[in-house]
Structure 1
Amino acid sequence: MTEDPTAPSPARRVRKLLARSVDDAQLARPVLALVSLLLLCVMILGGSFIPVPYVIERPGPAIDVLGEYDGEQILVIDGAETHPTDGALMMTTVSVDGGPGYRVTPVEVVAAWFDRSKMVLPKEAVFPEGQTREQTVLNNTAAMSTSQQGAVAVALDELGLEYESVVMIAGVEEGAPADGTLEGGDVIVSVGGETASSLEGYRELIRATPEGRTVPMRVRRAGEELDLEVPSEMADGSPRMGVVLAAGYEFPMDVQIAVGDIGGPSAGMIFSLSVYDELTPGALTGGHQIAGTGTIAVDGAVGPIGGIRQKMVGADESDAEFFLAPSANCDEVVGYEPEGLEVVAVTDFEDALDATETIAETGSAEGLPTCEDVNNE
Structure 2
Amino acid sequence: MTPPAPAPSRGSRLRALAGRAVDDAQLFRPRLAIGSLLVLCALLLGGMLMPVPYVIESPGPAIDVLGEYEDEEILTIEGVQTYPTDGTLMMTTVSVDGGPGYTVTPVEVVVAWFDRSRMVMPRELLFPKGQTREETTLQNTVAMGSSQQGAVAVALDELDIDYEDTVLVAGVQEGAPADGTLQAGDVILAVDGTEPTDVASAQTLIGDVAGEKIPLRILRDGEELDVKVPAHVVDGARQMGILLGRGHDFPFDVNIGVGAIGGPSAGMMFSLSVYDELTPGALTGGHRIAGTGTIEEDGAVGAIGGIRQKMVGAQASEAEFFLAPAANCEEVIGFEPEGLEVVAVSTFDDALQATETIAATGTVEGLPTCEDVSS
Pairwise same-fold verdict (TM > 0.5): yes
Q: How many residues align?
A: 372
Structure-1 residue corresponding to 2:120: 120
* 1:247-305 CA-partner distances (Å, limit 9, x unpaired): 11111111100111110000000000001111111100000000000000011110000
Q: Distance in 1 between matches of 2:195 and 2:15?
A: 103
Letter in 1 for 2:256: I
SS in 2 for 1:205: helix
Q: Could you list the runs of 5+ residues in structure 1 that have no partner in the other structure?
A: none
Letter in 2 for 1:175: G
Structure-2 residue corresponding to 1:312: 311
1:366 equivalent in alignment to 2:365: yes
1:209 equivalent in alignment to 2:201: no
Summarize the alignment of residues 53-132 of structure 1 with structure 2, pairs less than 5 Å apart: 53-132=53-132
Per the TM alignment, residue 13 of structure 1 is displaced from its structure 2 partner at its CA by: 3.6
Q: Distance in 2 between matches of 1:9 and 1:204?
A: 105
Q: Is the 8 A contact 2:176 2:240 kept in 1?
A: yes
SS in 2 for 1:60: strand
Per the TM alignment, residue 236 of structure 1 is displaced from its structure 2 partner at its CA by: 1.6
Summarize the alignment of residues 134-213 of structure 1 with structure 2, pairs less than 5 Å apart: 134-210=134-210, 213=212
Per the TM alignment, residue 16 of structure 1 is displaced from its structure 2 partner at its CA by: 3.7
Per the TM alignment, residue 45 of structure 1 is displaced from its structure 2 partner at its CA by: 2.2
Structure-2 residue corresponding to 1:254: 253
TM-score, length-scaled by structure 1? 0.95
Per the TM alignment, residue 241 of structure 1 is displaced from its structure 2 partner at its CA by: 1.3
Structure-1 residue corresponding to 2:263: 264
Structure 1 pair 366/7, CA: closer, same or farther in 2 (3 Å)? farther
Structure-2 residue corresponding to 1:302: 301
Q: Distance in 2 between matches of 1:71 and 1:268?
A: 22
Q: Is the 8 A contact 2:144 2:262 kept in 1?
A: yes
1:282 equivalent in alignment to 2:289: no
Q: Could you list the runs of 5+ residues in structure 2 that have no partner in the other structure?
A: none
* 1:27-69 CA-partner distances (Å, limit 9, x unpaired): 2221111111111222222233222111111111111001111
Per the TM alignment, residue 8 of structure 1 is displaced from its structure 2 partner at its CA by: 4.1
1:352 equivalent in alignment to 2:351: yes
SS in 2 for 1:48: helix
Q: Distance in 2 between matches of 1:196 and 1:67?
A: 37
TM-score, length-scaled by structure 2? 0.95
Letter in 2 for 1:198: D
* 1:187-209 CA-partner distances (Å, limit 9, x unpaired): 11111112222211111121223
Letter in 2 for 1:146: S
Q: Distance in 2 between matches of 1:155 and 1:107?
A: 46
SS in 1 for 2:94: strand
Letter in 2 for 1:335: G
RMSD: 1.5
Q: Which has the higher mean CA deviation after the structures are superposed, 295-304 or 16-25?
A: 16-25
Q: Is the 8 A contact 2:167 2:196 kept in 1?
A: no
Per the TM alignment, residue 334 of structure 1 is displaced from its structure 2 partner at its CA by: 1.1
Task: Tell me the percent identity.
Answer: 67
1:133 equivalent in alignment to 2:120: no
* 1:130-171 CA-partner distances (Å, limit 9, x unpaired): 111111111111000000011111111111111111110011
Q: Distance in 1 between matches of 2:232 and 2:125?
A: 30
Q: Distance in 2 between matches of 1:325 and 1:65?
A: 17
Q: Is the 8 A contact 2:63 2:90 kept in 1?
A: yes
SS in 2 for 1:332: helix
SS in 1 for 2:109: helix
Q: Distance in 2 between matches of 1:10 and 1:366?
A: 102
Q: Distance in 2 between matches of 1:186 and 1:36?
A: 63
